[in-house]
Amino acid sequence: MQNREERQTYKDYLQVLKECSPYDFCEYSDNSIDRRIQKIMQDYRLNLDELIYKTRTDEEFVELVVEAITVNTTELFRDPPVWKHLYEKVYWALKSRPKINIWHAGCSSGQEVYSNLILLDIMGLADKCEIYATDISKKSLEVANSGSYKYNFNFQKYLNNFQDAFPNLPKEKFLGYFDIDESKDRMSVKPSLLGKAKFIKHDLVKQPLPFYNKFDLIFCRNVLIYFNSGLQSRIIQKFHDTLFPGGAMVLGTHESINGFFKTKFAKNGPVYERTNTFHFKY
Amino acid sequence: MYNQDQTYKVIVMGGSAGSFSVVSHILAGINPEFKIPIVLCLHRLKHVRSGLVEGLSLKSVIPVVEPNDKAKLRPNTVYLAPSNYHLFLELDGSIALSTEESFNHSRPSIDYTLSSAAYAFRDRVLGILLTGANKDGARGIKEIADNKGFTIVQDPKSCDIDTMPRSALQLFQPDLVLDPQQILEFLNALPQ
């Protein structure tokens, strides 16, 4: 992989990026960020000095770096048991509410948002939901807004996920939410679902929240794994403070809460529910 | 060369097609008091994402877990890379997960796990590459050797599909080439 001196220089590079752009990756976990920076240097054939020079002088290049550093992999209905739980437990409990506020933090290209919209639509809840979806990557948000994905590469995986999550629903239900154009290799979310979620460019690490609402449900899946523990805790605190008591947080299947905030959430299946305990400032 | 007094901090094992029965055999016969943490990175079929932990736990005499991100390595435990995540070892002895793009058409990628172990633990890693139908893992185990870790490759003659060990043997010469029973005996003879 690389030697220890190189690792130090990557840290220096993050400092440069912090100084001359609005982004701060200093508290991302070392392991992944090193590999991403290495990949950028390979892809653009730059050595570290050239990379630093280009970052200082070329604003458009900085955006490309941000795209390359952030991980954008996602699927429709990733981890079927999670969606099954949302369907059978979480949304049933929210059914009688007049309004449901949902935030997808780090929504990438939007597959999770549309998975959720499809589920809500199936349950007849879509109209009373207010859905915000945020991400740091402009390019991902453009894809998310279009709701159009590659067909061949994705379709079977997405359909399998759906069927694993909802074995009682016919697969036509799933197909009904997409316009499929095999000749163009596209599967596009039906216009009726487009525009129901508001996609907003937002840096979870540095910017204040772009809304005043509190939320019933926050999705933030496989985002925190790229942060170090200190940053993780700060983001969890943000989520905690912006959730209604009893509201829930959906993390990635192999993410967990450590440290102080562990006591502020109760784990119920794959979701973390905000408990309503007091906490004191010392 | 193998050093009698060397104690290893971690054992990382990678495998693909056919490796389930080899790993089961090893975990069933290993000393129940075996201290060194074992990290497994096994490819699995895309549509069968769960059940591997349960399958391995049936026979294993030490606990098998799919770790969460940032979990610390503990003695007498087997860590299995969760499906659909890459698994890395960090300098502080913790585990990092990632959903980055597939590498060598694989997530988890064995190369990623093995080379992160080589980087984090240097000569204190014991790397084992088992049977498989893919070249993922060959470069990773070579990196362990390059960093003076100890390396074992499963004898291609004892493999269901020998693409993985063969591509490793093309790249470098491991310390030992053993069949599954010999690997088990070797592990049980390690100083704890």
CATH number at residue A207: 3.40.50.150
What's the rounded mean pLDDT across residues A58-80?
91
B25 is catalytic: no
Q: State how beta strands B78-80 and B125-129 pair.
A: unpaired
Q: CA dist B65 to A118, A194, A219, B51, B75, Å?
A: 33, 40, 25, 12, 13
Residues A63, A194, single domain; the answer is no
- Which residue range(s) make up the domain with A12? 4-69
Residues A44, A108, single domain; the answer is no
Residues A118, A221, single domain; the answer is yes
Q: Is residue B176 part of a domain?
A: yes
CA–CA distance, A211 with B127 (Å, rounded to integer):
50
pLDDT at A180: 96
Please choose, from the candidates A73, A221, A82, A223, the residue with its C-alpha nearest in 3D space to the C-alpha of residue A153.
Answer: A73
Residues A118, A19, single domain; the answer is no
Q: How confident is the model at residue A277 (pLDDT cuts 50, 70, 90)?
A: low
Residues A108, A43, single domain; the answer is no
- The answer, yes or no, to whether ipTM is higher than 0.90 is no
As for how many domains chain B has, the answer is 1
Tell me the range of A22-26, B15-19, B138-142 where mean pLDDT is highest: B138-142
Contact B183, B21 (CB under 8 A): no
How far off is chain B from A66, nearest CA to CA, in Å?
Answer: 15
Which chain A positions have a beta carbon within 8 Å of B101's beta carbon? 71, 73
Which chain B positions have a beta carbon within 8 Å of A160's beta carbon? 47
As for how many domains chain A has, the answer is 2
- Which residue range(s) make up the domain with B55? 10-189
Catalytic residue (one of B86, B109, B136, B158): B136
Residues A119, A207, single domain; the answer is yes
pLDDT at A1: 46
By percentage, how much of chain B surpasses pLDDT 90?
Answer: 82
B167 is catalytic: no
B16 is catalytic: yes
Please choose, from the candidates A194, A188, A187, the residue with its C-alpha nearest in 3D space to the C-alpha of residue A121.
Answer: A194
Please tell me the least confidently modeled range out of A4-18, A207-221, B97-111. Answer: A4-18
Please choose, from the candidates B11, B186, B148, B182, the residue with its C-alpha nearest in 3D space to the C-alpha of residue B174.
Answer: B148
User: Is the pLDDT at A174 greater than 90, yes or no?
Assistant: yes
Residues A63, A96, single domain; the answer is no
Residues A143, A208, single domain; the answer is yes
Give the three-state DSSP class for A64: helix
Instruction: Tell me which chain A residue has its CA closest to the CA of residue B116.
Output: A1
Contact B118, B104 (CB under 8 A): no
Contact A76, A158 (CB under 8 A): yes
- Strand boundaries in A152-274, DSSP class E: 178-181, 186-189, 197-201, 215-220, 243-251, 265-268, 271-274
Mean pLDDT taken over chain A:
91
Question: Among partner residues A30, A79, A225, which is closest to B98 by beta-carbon distance?
Answer: A225
Q: How confident is the model at residue B48 (pLDDT cuts 50, 70, 90)?
A: low
